[in-house]
Amino acid sequence: MAAPGKFAKFYIKGEKALYAFIEGQPEYELVPTDKNKFELKVLKGYSVQFEQTEKGEIISASFVQPNGTFKAKRK
């Protein structure tokens, strides 16, 4: 799914659905499972974990996949 050198973008559609777009792939709807953790609605075994500062600013997203975890830092 996520690969080094590709970018990921997160955005809200409608009033409350969070989506992820990874360069070269379709957009994925994210379903909350825990604080700052979301599963990809259509891909079982794939999730995203956001890391935030003490002030609540999101600084990175880790894509957890069967073949490993890939961290993307915020730009």
Residue 4 is predicted with a pLDDT of 52
C-alpha closest to that of 22 among 59, 67, 72: 72
**Averaged pLDDT for residues 23-33:** 93
At 5, the pLDDT band (50, 70, 90 cuts) reads low
pLDDT tens figures, 34-74: 999 999 999 999 999 999 999 999 999 999 999 999 998 88
Residue 48 is predicted with a pLDDT of 97
Domain residue ranges of the chain, discontinuous segments joined by + = 8-73
Res 3 pLDDT > 60: no
Residue 32 is predicted with a pLDDT of 96
Pairwise CA distance, residues 67 & 17, whole Å? 27
For 46, residues 6+ apart whose C-beta sits below 8 A from its C-beta are: 1, 39, 40, 63, 64, 65, 66
